[in-house]
Each structure stands twice: as structure tokens, then as C-alpha cells.
Chains A and B, each alone.
Chain A
Amino acid sequence: MVFLRSIPPRAVWLPPVLFLALAVMPGAVFAQEESTLPEGYAGTEACAMCHEDVVEAFKKNRHYQLESNLKRGWKDRSCESCHGPGAKHAESAAAEDIRNPLKLKPVDADQGCLSCHRNQPTQIGRLQNGHARSQTACTSCHNVHKTGAESTAVIQSTAAGVVKQCASCHTDVWASFQKPHRHRINEGVMKCTDCHNPHGSNLAKNVRTVHANEPGCLKCHSDKRGPFVYEHAPVRNQPCSVCHEPHGSSNPRMLTRHEVANQCLECHANLLSPSPAGVAGGVPPAIHDLRQPRWRQCTMCHQKIHGSNVSRGLLR
């Protein structure tokens, strides 16, 4: 208020001029930034001079937000955020003067993507991941320049798109899904990434986790989670795949054996438990006369095989 009172009455033009100056100043700074690219960089406008179609298509890409995002540090250089400094390439127009992630070694291509995407929760298990181990680059699954139906965002938003993409490498798994008893991948109601995190997980086979550290299978089969008063030990200290073949099986319960009796008796075959070999199991009581069909379907009686709250023999 003292400051305002100190303004001469005739200087009423001062506030609007100050206001205008304030309004114009950022613009001036903005303009200055626009014209000042770091050394070696050419800017997106320069890229568009030759690659106009690519840049136009790129405008529909999520990465294009870098072009105007001040906080990410790639303003007006969104192309060069992946392709590296392009001033030399802009002058020479030579392919070897610009970085093409598709033609780089996987590790170098990945480092480019990870420079922004490393700090994402999905990358936590990256090093344990089979994809990282086998040098599968990010660009193997994610394309940046495709738009419309060919874009990664659209392909990976449908179950069929994800399955097709995964099946192109994991052909043996795709073959398992052609067996009669399998998860509903072929019906389009499930997709590979419902169960697996392709970026990595702390579980084997990149199996997703739910409820922090429980296997992802329990997301849909939450009745198997427990805890149970009587646990079946392998359900807790082994992965589900020790008994089940989730991709496809000839067994109606997707077991890894053709009949449930074989599945059970292969473990429950020790007179002493643990056996001298140190493995657990034990033998079922002698009433289990396998010559009668009644006893060959173990889970017909041991129906709470994943764990029971009532019966130590997992009967109810």
C-alpha cells in the first residue's frame, strides 16, 4: 500500500504497462528458448523438413507431448529424445549420422528407452526378466512411429493383439493353447499380459503378482489364496505350475499329467517322509485301491486340494 501511495497520480498508465511487460516477458524468454537449442541438436522443425510424414504421424503419438513439455527437457526436440542429436544428420542427410534404435544393439536401444522409462514400477523386475537376459529390446514389442491400428497402443489394447505379438516369438506356448483344455485366450477374454508382466517380476516366468507378493493366478482364483487351517505344502512352497500346465493340457483340470492319480502318486510315494533322498510326500493309506475307479480320482474326495479349513486330509 505504501508503494501504491508513492506512485504519482498522473502515472496511472504505469500499472497496465507493468502488466503488459510481465505478460510479454515470458513470451520473450520463450522465444529465446525456442531459438536456443543445445549444441548438436537440430530441433523437430528441422526433422520435419525431410521427414514430414513421419513427424505429422508422430503428432498423434503419446511421445509427442515431449515437444511442448518444459519439465521433461525435450521441448522442441521430441524426435531427438530417442534419435539423439541430429544437427550433423540434418547437414549431411546420411543415415549413419543419426541414431536409429531399431538398428542398434538391444542394450543400446534399451538404454535410450530406459533413460525416461527406467523409473517405472513395471521395470522393477527387469534384470530378473528373461527378456532382459535374452537381449530382447524394447523395440521388439513397442513401435513408436506406427499410428492407428498398427500402433502399439491399439495393438496392445486388445487381447488378440497382445496374444498375436507374444505368439510371434513364443510359438511353443502358442501351440499349447491349441490343446482342448486351456485358459480362454482363444476366445479373446484373456491375454498373455493378464498373467505375465513382460517387463519382469520377482516370480519365475514373469508371472505377475497380486496383493503385493502373491502369484498372479490368485487374482482370478482367489478362493485358492487362503490362508487355510490345513495348507497343502506344495501350494505354498512351489509355483502353481508344479501341478498345472496353464497354457494348455490334455487333462480337463490342466494338470501336467493325463490323470490326476498319476499327478498325486508321483509325490506321495515315500514310505518315510522325508525319504532318504530328502523329498517329502508319504504314501496314502492302503484303502486307496487303485484297481477301482472310485479311488483313481483323488480330487473327487480330496476336493480342497489347495488347502482346507476343516479337514486335515483336505476332504472338505
Chain B
Amino acid sequence: MKRERMRWLLAALLAVSLNAQEVTEAKPEAKPEAAAESAEEEAAVVTADSPVRGVIDVGARWVKEPLGDFQTYRSIVNLGQGIRLSNLDLNIEPTGFKLFDSMRLAGSNWGGDPYNTLRMNLEKRNIYRFDGTYSNIAYFNYLPSFANTQATGAFFNQRAYDTQIRNIDNEFQLFPGTRFTPYLAYTRNTDFGNGITTLVADRNEYPLRNLIRWGQDTYRGGIRADFGRSHLTVEHGGTSFRDDQQVFSTERLTGNRGAATLVGQSLFLTDGRQAYSMRGDGRFTKVLFVANPYDWVDLYGQVLYANPRTTPGFFQNTMGNLNDATSGLLFFSRGFDTLFGDARRPHTSGTFSMEIRPHSRIRIREMYETDRIKTDSSAMLSTTLLTPTSSLGRQTGFIDRLEASHTRQTVEGLVDVHRRLTLRAGYRYEWGDSVFRGGVLNQINPQERINLERHVGLAGIQARPWDRLTINVGAEVSNGVRTYYRTGLQDYHKIRAQVRYRLTDNLNFNGVHVRLDNQNPAPGVDYKFLAQSTSMNVQWLPRGGSRFSILADYTRSSIRSDIDYLEPHILQPARSLYVDNAHTGSLLADLNLRGSGVVRPKLTVGGSFVRTAGSRPSSYYQPTGRFLLPVTEKVHFYSEWKWFGLAQPFYLFEGFRTHMIQTGFRFNL
């Protein structure tokens, strides 16, 4: 019995000793120099290891009543006033918590601002990961230049929006092992609010109120499989779309014709209503694979398929004195339109690419991409027109079709001539065709067929003559045989050159030049397009930016587009010339001011400017200044000033100037 007890005791001691050994291994060995660390450094370590780290910025914002056009201010800047949670970035890493190892929570502009974001990442290592984002973007666009400038009254702008676009993205991944990763995701995109739109009747159009409400839900799920040298992802998903816009007005509107009559009669609308009831659904499938069967070859491929469908419903009711062009000069007092339809669009894409490395200095890349779309649609429109003496009814059926295919094949070789010099050359062939219904007036070709064919030469150099200097040049030259549209890429060359120079460890220069020259000399088109941009930026952080740092850039860009077109009413040739010459610059200078203890203020000055000349000259300035004053180690006071100013000589009524001041406290956790 005694011997048995001894055995148990020995077993228990063994277990304890094993356990103790593990604990000893897990703990880092105490270092002699650790004892010499100051109390302050110890405190910093404790802070760094505390389960919650991050910053919270709470403050208030004032925006001065803009001088100039308030609607333009709202369309471009649109910042709200009041108390805000302007920034939140928390990283929570609790020890021994079962639900998650780490949680990251980041958000901005909460408290009634037009733009808010929230992001959450949750992770339990080797178990799951959740990523969720939310963004709310105010879309206000009410610019007088985008309207009939002869119109007056509340509907000066006839295409205006005051809506909120909200996006929610969630993805949940599971890690049951290293081989398979199943995941599920849900995305929601909605837009709701008000607007002004146009009810287009024959020979007149009337601006009406629009209640906008549409949204789309997307669900998808899949599994990623990793087999060492190959990988496969299979994903399947579905979408659900609805659009319930409502357009209405009960006022008497004379529309854009104003008092102008049509064969002696005034056109007006006393009641106009449109109800859209668009419903859509679809499914999509994605198969991706990657394989690296041997060290010298990589294979990539994907097959993507989507098949969205829409079943539209539409109802329109109009009252007043309106004209029907289809029936000649028929004037009617009331009209009803009802439409039901169906549209389907299977869309298939495939990509296959591979890289072969026959030699340590040579890489050969082959890429094949194809994209095929086909829309088949049909609809039935019932129209009833009531005149004071009669009624007219008609039903019109529509069948429509659009097909498009686009394929490109690229072969490219890269040679490392020297460890500091890589040359690249290749060839790309693009081709495609598209079939769709011709224009309304096109009696000759009810079905139009257009083709695309393009031969493109590719070249590039990457050189690093010294460790601190990198030169990267890429070019494309094309001899286009056919292009779909008059402004499409035809005979073009594209160059992008970049030079990066690190003069010292704290002083970096970067220069970029981009040029695209496209021409289509075909008779009746005679298109010439040239876009150029040259940028320089400098980053200077003396002593690692401990005292001050400067980040500045300047860009000179120009666009010139020149093409023939026909004035529609007289069919006379004219030139469409668009010129835009822009100077753009931005500066950010940080200055760490002298102080004592934790009170070391930081001043940031800078901003950006754009000055353009040409077809639509404008100047837009946004100087800024920011002051940060640490009150304690964990609480900082900040104050920020910004000025916004837009001026457009051709659209003087679309200018504004305003100040914005934001101040508050930053809490460092």
C-alpha cells in the first residue's frame, strides 16, 4: 500500500515538474539590464501591454456661414457643425478571454456628421476572423451649372440629389485547420433621400420631386482550400435589388418651354406621378485557382459567372395639357403608362495566366483574359391617353439585345540583365465585338455590330544604378485596327516614368511623368488626345522628424482633347475642344515646438491648391493649420483650422469661401 502511494506521489510530482518546466519556458528570462530601466520606461511597457490601446478624439466643429453659393459648398465640402466623436481607434487584446484574442474598433465623424465610418475586426487566432465595415456618405449635389439655366424658381437645378449612401460589409472566416477556410459574407448598399428629376413628356419636360429609395443585398459564401502547392477557392453568392423611386408634383408647371406655345397651345402639367418598382435578383459563382507545381512555374486561373435579372414595373400618371408625338399633334389631358418587363444578363469571364522561370534571370508571362456579356430583355408598355372627347389606347412590345465580348492575350518577357537592371518587353493582342440595337433614328442598321482589334507593344525598364536611386519606365504603343467608339484608344502610346532618389536617410525625392497620346485619324473623327502629368514630391524628415518634417508635392498636368462632331440640329461639322491645364500642390509641415515634460506642442501647417485654366477654369484652395498640445501624457488638446475656397470664372455663381474650426481633446489609452 505504501509502495502504491509512493507511485502516485511520484506520478503527481512528475506532472507538476513537467508543468513547472513549461511555465519556466514560456516566461522570458529576466535580463540584468531590465533592473536598470527607469520607472517611466516600465510604465510605458505596462501601457503598451494593457489590453486596451488606442486613441479617442472628441471635439466640436464650427463652420462659418459660407460666402457665395451655399449649395455649391454643400455639394463639394459639406461638413457638419456641433459636438463630434471625430476619431476612434481602439485595439483590445484581452488575455485569457475566450471569445476573441483581439478586437479592433475604428470609427470617424460620429455625432451627426455627413460622413461616418465604423470598422470592427474580431479575431480568435486559428479559430475565426470577422471583419465588418460601415460607411455613410452624404451625397448632396445641387449645382446650378448642371441645369437649364433659363429655368427659374425652386427647380433651378433639374438633376439634384440629397441622399445618403450607406454601405455595410461583413465577412466571417473560420479556420478549422490550415487547409480549408470557409467564409460567409453579407453586403448591403442602400441610397435614400430626396432629389429633383425631370418628367420628360413629348416636346416638354417638367422638373419634379423625387423620393429615392433603392438598395441591394449581397450574400456570398465559399471555401478556400490550400493544398500546399495549389489553392482553390469556390464561392457562390446571390443578390437582391429593389428600386422604389417615386416622382411626383401637384403644382401647375409649364416646364422648360415656359410660355412658348406649340401650334398655339400652351403645354403644362398639373399633376405628374411616376412610380418605379424595380426588382432584381441574381446569382454568381467564382472559381479561382493558383498552382505552383514546380518552383519554376506559377499558374493562375479564374472562372467567374454572374447572372443578374431585373423585373421592372413602372407606372406613370400625367394630367394637364400634354402632347403625344407618336400620334402626331395629339393634345391630351390625361395619360397613363404601365410597363412590365424582364431583363437577364449572363456574364462570363475567364482568366488564365502563368509565369515560367526557365532561368534565374528570365521570366516569361502569358495571360489570357476573356469577358462575355449578353443582355436579353423584353417589356410591354400600355399607354392610354384621354382627350376631352376621346380616348386612345396602345400597347407596345419591346425586345432588346446587347452582346459584348472582349478578349486579350499578352505575352511578356522579363530579363534581369544585371542585378540592378531589368528589361521587359511584350506584345498584347486585344479583340472583341459587340452587337446592340441601333439609335432611334437609325433606319439602316437596326442592329449595330462593332469590332475591336488592337495590337499593343509593351516595354519597360527597371534600373537601380545605386542603392538610393530607382528608375522605373513603362511604355505601351498601339496600332489600333478598330475601336468601338470615336474616343476609344486607337493609335496610342502611353508612358509612365518614375524616379525615386533617397538623397539621405531622411530626404527622399520622387518624380513621376505620365503621358498618354491617342489619335484616331479616320475621316469624320480626326481625334487627337493628349494627357500629360509631371509630379515631384519631397519628403524631408531631419533627425527622423523629431524636430520638424516636410512633405510637399507639386503636379503640373494638362489635357487636350480635340475631335470632330456634328451639331445635331443643323448637322454641320464642329470641333469639340477640351483643354485643362492644372497646377496642383500640397504641403504638410510638422513642427515640434520646444516645451517641458510632456507639454511639447506640435504645429502642423499646409494645405493644398488647384488652379486650372482652359475649358472650365477653376481655383480651389484648402489651407490648413493644426495645433496639438499635450496636457498630460494621456490627454492632448487639439485645434484645427481649414479654409475652403472655390472660384470658377465661367460659373461665377458656383463659388464659395468658408472657414472651418475644429477643436477638442485626444485621449490616448
A contact residues around B149 at 8 Å (CB): 293
Supposing A184-B115, A265-B568, A277-B525 touch, asked if A24 and B486 sit within 8 A by C-beta, the answer is no
State how many residues of chain B have any CB contact under 8 Å with chain A.
194
**Partner-contacting stretch, out of A36-44, A74-82, A83-91, A226-234:** A226-234
Q: Does the CB pair B135–A128 fall under 8 Å?
A: no
Asked if B187 and A119 sit within 8 Å, CB to CB, the answer is: no
Taking the closest CB of chain A, its distance from the CB of B190, in whole angstroms, is 9
Range, interface on chain A: 35 or more
Chain B residues with CB under 8 Å of A301's CB are 198, 200, 205
Q: How far is the CA of A209 from the CA of B412 in the complex (A)?
A: 24
Contacts of A284 in B (CB 8 A): 568
Q: Which residues on the B side are within 8 Å of A92 (C-beta)?
A: none
Grouping DSSP codes into helix (H, G, I), strand (E, B) and loop, the B interface class, with mixed when no group exceeds half, is strand
Quick one: given A106-B462, A169-B512, A309-B312, are A279 and B416 in contact (CB under 8 Å)?
Answer: no
Q: For the complex, what is the distance from the CA of A263 to the CA of B108, rounded to whole Å?
A: 37
Tell whether, in the assembled complex, residue A230 and residue B11 are in contact, meaning their CB atoms are under 8 Å apart: no
Q: Decide if A312 is an interface residue (CB 8 Å cutoff).
A: yes
Pick from B75, B89, B241: contact of A252, CB under 8 Å: B75
A10→B467 CA distance, assembly (Å): 77
Chain B residues with Cβ below 8 Å from A270 are 486, 524, 566
Most chain B beta carbons < 10 A, residue from A103, A271, A281: A281
In the complex the two chains form, what is the Cα distance from A236 to B422 in whole Å?
38
The answer on a CB contact under 8 Å between B485 and A242 is yes
Task: Identify which of B115, B177, B400 contacts A229 (C-beta below 8 A).
Answer: B400
The answer, yes or no, to whether A1 is at the interface (CB within 8 Å) is no
Report if B127 contacts A (CB, 8 A): no
Q: Are B510 and A169 in contact (CB under 8 A)?
A: yes
Contact of B117 among A189, A281, A285, A303 (CB under 8 A): A189
A95 touches B (CB below 8 Å): no
Residues of A within 8 A of B308 (CB): 211, 225-227
Complex interface residues of chain B between 317 and 371 (CB less than 8 A to chain A): 337, 339, 341-345, 347-349, 351, 353-355, 363, 365, 367, 369, 371
Is B4 a contact partner of A293 (Cβ separation < 8 A)?
no
Can you list, as one digit per residue, whether each of A171-195 has a CB less than 8 Å from chain B (1) or not (0)? 1101110111100100111100000
With A20-B14, A172-B555, A187-B115: A281-B485 Cβ-Cβ less than 8 Å: yes
* B639 on interface, CB distance cutoff 8 Å: no
Could you tell me if A172 and B285 are in contact, using CB atoms closer than 8 angstroms? no
Residues in chain B near residue A119, CB distance under 8 A? 226, 230-231, 290, 292
Q: Tell me, rounded to whole Å, the shortest Cβ–Cβ distance linking A233 to chain B.
A: 5
The reply to whether B300 and A266 form a contact with Cβ atoms under 8 Å apart is: no
A139 at interface by CB-CB < 8 Å? no
Instruction: A170 to B622: give the CA distance in the assembly, Å.
Output: 21
A106–B302 alpha-carbon span in the complex (Å): 26
Give the contacting residue for A222; candidates B8, B216, B414, B472; CB below 8 A. Answer: B216
Q: Which 8 pairs across A and B sit closest by C-beta, in order of nearness?
A: A282-B439, A119-B231, A277-B522, A309-B312, A227-B345, A171-B535, A175-B555, A258-B616
Told that A169-B510, A236-B404, A311-B200 touch, could you supply 7 new A-B pairs with CB distance under 8 A? A124-B351, A127-B300, A127-B367, A175-B533, A179-B582, A213-B305, A275-B525
